[in-house]
Structure 1
């Protein structure tokens, strides 16, 4: 227990040394106060402001009590360590004050500590577990400052609270071995002047000891805050994990050594060469940008650093090459000791860290020119005089105009596009006009004359530095063929100063529509009159197809158009169902009626939309041959008074009705009544007076069918003659069909 007395108050604190706990733990502190004064007193017990940050409890952190003379009272405080409190040892004060009754003897301040343990540390199982305290204490807000070259000395106080002798060993697992040194106290058994070989601290039961810990970071350690873990091992209780943290701060050191060494400081032709040596003797990472500037009024040199940007780790060095290159050659002295050029090294830290107040300065001596430069100067003067004379002569005798080039924009063009030209004419102010002409096969030559100011329109032609340049100049050449262009430059009406001619330029015809080989066909080769002929074909380049004709070539060579389709507006309505247009025009089963029997030789003839494409140059399809025959015919009925017997007995001089019916196409046959030579229709009748014989004949107009005929023989019957017997009648009227 920690006791403190005054003449009037006695205060006992339990636990007296240090409170220990992990983040989130609840701790208790007990304070016994005795009023040893001669009167009653009102006493306030509270904590300082540093304690407020370590409390999460809702209980009040101060007590006010009235205590009679020679009486005692115990005050208990309970509070919780915030869960996010970093491990470390935190100082605070307990304040006991009686300002009204004992103003001279109070307030009394008690310095205390709370040690916040690391979560990985073993939870204490009892009061005999060893403890240790690091002095001086540190926490995130109260860090230990390391001074370069002076080791940071820490004392680790170990308390062996058990009944056995124990050996303790200290480690710093977060630090490299070069960062720290652990010194254990000597046992007392060594000889004088002999250092202890012990690697641990031996403590008797219920005794205390100290271990000395020296922290000495290496020179290249980065500045910043380091919270290394300190771990204490117990030989008897190896399962215990006893941990604490030391909050170490290495202050920033910005020492930077800069040295400028001269490699080549005098020269008349070469650039000056220097070496800049940079050494970071501090403990921060430096990112530097190098530059140099003249110390004279006028900048005469370029300064080139290799590398331009440098990164230096602590205690590291690097060399940078500097080249000083004079730029104004006319400032180089002709005589004397040379020109002294002074310059200052400038450095910029990209992290805005402090730099040395004084930076290196250098001097480059630009030596006087060598003697042969005078000879060059003389040549220069002579050249200036000669150049001036030439300029005067050129002013009096200006260079003539010249056509630099004339060429087409493209070597070939497609039908529908006009030829465009590119040309350039220098010294155009001396010209009055340009004449452009072209010649082509089957075309009359044409020539166009242009004034120079007319061409300088700023669109296709423009004049700059007395040079006229025309690009994509559109000509009137648009008809397919090969053209040759000529451009002539005239100083006046009849004074031609230059001309240029192009190589032949061709405008090609658009691809003509063509019948794909062997694509023109019919569904069969033999037809009868009245049957429909179905034709199929394929045509390439259909976008250029204007019309399509179906032509029959007769045996005598005469050509007759039997079908004509207009494709200028696309597929005609009558072919919409049979034709489809893609890369090719494909038509299937296009119907064609053939009314006249005979042999047909049919081919397709396309025409092009191009006005320059001659129809005779378009290839027709391969012809196909089809044969159309007339239909067979027959005499279905031929009789007198509806009697078809070939022999009949009729009254002499009687009037009878002759009827006939022929199964045939009236256009294909010739029907003749043989007894009168009369041409009749396929069906008919007429009244006749009985004659010995009547007949009918049918002939094919085209001679493809054999003619047929029928006749009836009439036996005149006398007037009032008896009616013949039935059998005889049957014999007389048995008909006969004659075929010739």
Structure 2
């Protein structure tokens, strides 16, 4: 809210003041405060409340009308009651609320309208006041979707009540989640029509053309029913003005480009109040003209600043007039204004010995925003008259010889004289405690022979004794303590008389002259305040790291983990310095530093680098000799590339504390760096191993239903960084990087898919999928009357499909390579329960167990040279846990089955 008034000259509101030729702005009789101030944001279909606080700043009671100008169309039609009237006494304020009903079909955009404040009966000359107001209508977002229309949501959510608060230059990360609810594959695109391209960045997820191959994508492609995410970074430029912004987010569908998927993001840029002021002296020494000074104001913040400038004298007597042009300035963000200050003495006669005129320039923020420095001291020297202008005085003195004769006669016949203090002052008005300087005094006393005692006492400004008292007895003559400083004749002249005032602070010395005649009056005189400046405290001028971000580097066997433990002799440029944080700092007044302390903390306050102390009592310490050096010209010690023990990945904030030798302040001078990052070395993610029953996982695994074999043993091994996520889908979900587990399979004919999915820190994914197809068991063979052969149990085994068998029996090069979609593994059905003999294998399958564990090993002892198994000599083992390396799971442990 801003206090506002009206200027009849320009027709513009000037914050309750009117510009004139005087030094200060004139207050107008009517003031107005609007809420909301500036541009009001409202969405179509909502109701906006405009509050106007009216203050009668005049001297008479007034009836004030407030109404919306009829020329402000179509905004005038939106006001529920466009006219209000109120009566205010002098100094009284009242509040008026206008309700604005925005139609649903209002066209989005910015509308200007005029609020008129009129008091024709009581303030006819100052009214009417036309207040220009701006209203911005945001688009009305209405959801009208069918069941098959895509939808999207924004995270984090924002609203006009709780917008996302951003500091100047801070980006906002939004995650747009898109849901394809149609029955077609669709591609979605994201845009921000209300923002410039430099304000936002859109990142689509990478697509996968083939297994293990990632391709760049300019959109989000989703299968029917899938959900995907798009990253949106809104980065307002650093010079963006403070306020609330409401850009529109729109998602386009490639299948339905006319579909409007809209949402609004509310952003609030935080206010930054930073105004720098510089005072320049253009003419600081005058004879007859005025002194000229200049103020340069620069608004480096992001809000509009309105500042009034005043000037006044700091001397006891004000003999100058001050002219400021302009007396009030309005600074837009990023602009600068120069203000001229003219100082002219009002007295026409120049001083005989010159005069120093001291004054101050004060700044006042009309909006009560903070100012770094609101007061500036300046001085103007008024030069003395030329020597030839003293001739009239000489002539006047020559003409008064007769009076001088009379004066001599009067001196001879006058009563006895008494001691008189003619002058009492310090040798200097300012001293340095650093140089161990004591205050020295000068005084002149006439008729010292009539003087009995001189007492000198030093007081503080609040009346406490800080020096002395020093008592000098002048009977019978000049004291011995003053022999070195005083000469006595007709006057007692003392120069550079030492005192014991050496501590920093302000002193006022009092001299008391006691005459010999007890009836005579005792004379007391005081000096002006005398200041002893304290010892300058060391300051941290600069403190930062050599770079904001470092990259973690693996240490070689010959590289020490902490090279700063040894005393360095020169800044190191080896690889050990590249993986740790290096600091630079500059300290003023190094001769006043006792020690410095360096501590590294994390953002949460935990100690990540232990505190190091460097003793500067005898100069630069040995451990910093190779990194620090003194600059005598600027009286600074500058340290560069000072290594720390921060080598682990993470965020660091280093604190540098300076302990002075004398007069330690509370708290100590401390400065900290910005957040410094050490990025961890990235390790690429990859699937090292993915097997079923000890064999590499094929794209397709064919098996026959067997109630006795209800699970497969799955094992995997994945390599990657710390933030990697490993999932086994559809169940059990997230798993360790390396492991093995039994996976139950369905006994019903059908197929299901098992996917091993790896997601790294940046969201990139790798997948390995296997389709398990379960076949129905073959029908039992017809009984044949044959002599029963020796009982041999047939073990099921996984064998290649007919396509793979053909390649194996024929040309070896014709067999599909492992891992291709044409390669598949087949597990034949077990023997028929209760049969007397093992049935022949299916015609399309070769000998079971020829390629996988659990089958017949062609190279086993007893086989024929051509590799055919001998069923009579080597019975096949019954498949069991030793084949699948698992036990049946309980029903509660079984994951859901997918056919």
Same topology, TM > 0.5: no
User: Scaled by the length of structure 1, what TM-score is found?
Assistant: 0.33
Larger radius of gyration: 1
User: Scaled by the length of structure 2, what TM-score is found?
Assistant: 0.27
